[in-house]
Copies of this chain bind each other. A is one copy, B any other.
Amino acid sequence: MIKQRFFLLSMVFAIFSCSTNSSKNDIYVKDIVELNEAITAANPGDEIIMANGKWEDVEIKFRAKGTKEKPIVLRAETNGEVTIEGLSYLKFGGEYLTVEGLYFKNGFSPSNAVIDFKIGHKDKPDEISNNCKVSNCVIEDFNKPKRDDSDLWVQFWGRHNELSNCYIAGKTNRGPTVRVSIAGIESINNYHQIVNNHFGPRPVKGGPSGETIQLGDSYTSMSPSHTYVANNLFEECNGEVEVISSKTNFNVFKNNVFFKSEGSLVTRHGNYVTVDGNYFIGDGVNENYGGIRIINTGHWVVNNYFYGLKGKSFRSPLAVMNGIPKSPLNRYNQVTDVVVAYNTYVNCSSPWQFGVGTNIAQADVLPPSEIRSARAIRTTVANNIIYNENGLESIVVENDKADGVMFKNNIVDNQGVAFKNFDEGIVEAPLEIRALSENVFIPVGIPNDFEAYNGFDFDTIESDLLGVSRKDSNSIGAVLGVDVTNPNILDKSKYGTSWFSNEVEAKDPIIHVVEKAGQLQAMLNQAASGDIIALADGVFTIDESLVINKSITIQSQENAKAMLVFSGASKTPLFSLQPYGKLTVNNLSLKGNKANYAFASLKKDMSNHFGLTVLNSEISDFDYVLKAYKESFAERVTFENTAISDCENGIELSEETNDKGDYNTEYLTINNCNFNAVNQNVVDYYRGGYDESTIGGNLLVSNSTFTNCGGKEKNKRLLNHNGIVNVELVGNTFENNDVQFVSILWGAKNNTESDNKVLNSGEIRTEENLVMKLMY
């Protein structure tokens, strides 16, 4: 074997020696050994072709040197038919290298990145790549098993690297999906390209560090990056409040489409960013879809189009933050020298907010170095158009005074509703609206004599949203003229790979009837995601946890009532909610043995989300109704029309106690339920850590009754929701609960109560400012 290898290597060297001027060479490889040998031997112009099939546990170090004219290409035999699975990664270490057609799935990286533009070393300098490219690849659900284990799916280093025409979706664990790292002189002025990609859904992470793209970090935020992010589709990128977090200088965001993404493009650190010609598309309902949030100096926000965005405050279409005077490096610099020009806003609830994040009122609970009191200065808002189907009370929302902002030559159709016009910088005019597509409308009818304001360097805004030159005829708003065709921004064939589509055909669920307890798990295994299992009338005695690892509904057959009696071991659940396990329980009775649980996540390796909806059911005699373990996450947990009684513990979603802003579910909804004789942890939902930009956790408790509950609760509170930002208690009755407080609400955040009856149950208290641990 050794001899053979030596012979092979000699061959390779022979080829190498005499082929420097030869033309392209195709090298077909079937496994990692052959791949490594081919890489070692590769010459400029070579193509290494990976055989179709599953490549498991492959750590690819693409260490080679191509040339500008003759890159070295590593590609799938057939696009998408080379799957990279298991514990695998791809690292670049060289120049002019291209990778195409790979499909990363069913696995995760054993390193800190799935694709990395360097090969790192501890004992010698890293091998940093330049002029390398990943194209036409997919990374899907390639999650580390533990949510708190951080990684990146694509990490940029070096200069002039590219991520293009890829589809990337489904990251649930901690860490941005894509990061451009620029620590070190080798990676500044990088001019990386992130173009033509389709960033598919990234589910809500439930805490920070869920960005889709992060450019640098605060520690390198003084460095010039010049990263170019263009022509990408961001679809449902909901990971956290920042879809893109720009933390370096001179980045350009051009012609991207943000579609129903629950976050914003944020100039978090760094300066002189250009945000030009992007689409931010909402649905007119969801308040979580964001726009552009501005911090720091010198940004240009021009030619952008905003539609149907209902976000406010941090999630406003334009959210200009207050800074901290003399801010620490990792906090909030003042906004200065920003230009917002030639944008169009159609049917947005709160197009422009200034002084966002002001927290002067919290001076008692925060140190001075946390107080955002420095308002935007030397900032120009000009030549924009706002059209509102329904007039707004304010066009500009001043969380703090916008007195450092110059408004010039903006036009608004506010349906005649009066607003503050900022020294006539915002002019009312009746406009009409012209539909280019379902989501793209252009307001027309700007008065002929209305001229654009010519601000300093405005002549550098050369063309409009659609690329039409502004030189010959200029007018305000994102789009010049009225004779414009549909830009087809949601045609997914324009983004991502040539071979992968995330569009799923709708199909009707199949109803599987189960009549005996012994059949249930088998049927769960067999059913497809989305199917329904209908239980016959009668009692089902279950002695082992049922595994839920897909979307499934379990309900009683029509006109029947099934009861599941769980006799399983103590501390085990009737329903084990595993990754991808989204369970709906409808019209069932669930009964435990006082020591076991109704529902629980896995204790570890919750690499993907669970979900739980309980409707029209009765739950009794469990130790826990729901137990969510640390690092498990559900986007939604819902109980409706359900009676919960005689349980030691209720709904526990409070395991994220490291106070880093994480929590266990995004939405906990309890409506029209009846809790009786639940001793403790009746509702226990927790988010810790002072973090102004984690704006999640949503608790709704409505039209429900709580009686004889909470008696064993040590902190004497019936409903525990410490640090949850959005809490609403409405129309409930609390009676004979032996507690001191029904709830302590966080007044400064969005915590409210109304129409509750409290009888012999302590009180509902509101505290304006909660003292929390500083995260930064």
Residues of A within 8 A of B (CB): 183-186, 188, 218, 222-224, 249, 271-272, 296-298, 326-331, 333, 336-337, 339, 369, 378, 456-457, 776
Contact = CB atoms under 8 A, between A and B. Distances in A.
Contacts of A328: 326-329, 369
A222 B297 contact: yes
A329 B330 contact: no
A339 B185 contact: yes
Contacts of A271: 222-223
Contacts of A776: 326
Given A223-B297, A271-B222, A330 B326 contact: yes
Contacts of A186: 456
B456 A378 contact: no
B298 A223 contact: yes
A378 B181 CA distance: 15
Contact of A456 (B185, B222, B296): B185
- Most chain B CB within 10 A, of A185, A298, A333, A457, is at A185
B378 A184 contact: yes
Contacts of A339: 185
Contacts of A297: 222-223
Nearest to A270: B222
A185 B457 contact: yes
B298 A185 contact: yes
Contacts of A456: 185-186
A76 to B, nearest CB: 34
A224 B185 contact: no
A326 B369 CA distance: 11
Contact of A329 (B224, B333, B337): B333
Contact of A326 (B329, B337, B457): B329
23 contacts: A183-B336, A185-B337, A185-B378, A185-B456, A186-B456, A188-B298, A188-B337, A218-B326, A222-B249, A222-B271, A222-B333, A223-B271, A223-B297, A224-B272, A326-B328, A326-B331, A326-B776, A327-B328, A327-B329, A328-B328, A328-B369, A329-B329, A369-B369
Contact of A378 (B183, B249, B326, B369): B183
A697 B296 CA distance: 39
Contacts of A222: 222, 249, 271, 296-298, 333
Nearest to A300: B185
A776 to B, nearest CB: 8
A297 B224 CA distance: 11
A331 B327 CA distance: 10
A329 B222 CA distance: 11
A563 to B, nearest CB: 58
A527 to B, nearest CB: 52
Contacts of A333: 222, 329
A123 to B, nearest CB: 13
A487 B260 CA distance: 66
Contacts of A326: 218, 328-331, 776
A165 B224 CA distance: 33
- Most chain B CB within 10 A, of A218, A331, A336, is at A336
Nearest to A328: B326
Contacts of A183: 336, 378
A685 B367 CA distance: 37
A337 B184 contact: yes
Nearest to A457: B185
A361 B224 CA distance: 35
A668 B223 CA distance: 45
Q: Which 7 A-B pairs have the closest CB atoms?
A: A326-B328, A326-B329, A222-B271, A185-B337, A326-B330, A186-B456, A222-B297
A776 B185 CA distance: 31
A91 to B, nearest CB: 19
A565 B416 CA distance: 89
A126 B249 CA distance: 27
A776 B326 CA distance: 10
Nearest to A331: B326
A454 to B, nearest CB: 12
A271 B333 CA distance: 17
- Most chain B CB within 10 A, of A222, A272, A378, A457, is at A222
Contacts of A337: 184-185, 188, 223
A382 to B, nearest CB: 13
Contacts of A249: 222
Given A185-B339, A222-B222, A326-B328, 18 more contacts: A185-B337, A185-B457, A188-B298, A222-B249, A222-B298, A222-B333, A223-B337, A224-B272, A326-B329, A326-B330, A326-B331, A326-B776, A327-B328, A328-B328, A328-B329, A328-B369, A329-B333, A369-B369
- Most chain B CB within 10 A, of A336, A337, A369, A378, is at A337
Contacts of A369: 328, 369
A333 B298 CA distance: 21
A333 B218 CA distance: 12
A183 B272 CA distance: 14
Contacts of A336: 183
Nearest to A296: B222
Contacts of A188: 298, 337
A405 to B, nearest CB: 14
A68 to B, nearest CB: 17
Contacts of A296: 222
A366 to B, nearest CB: 15
A339 B185 CA distance: 10
A609 to B, nearest CB: 34
A324 to B, nearest CB: 9
A300 to B, nearest CB: 9
A139 B69 CA distance: 58
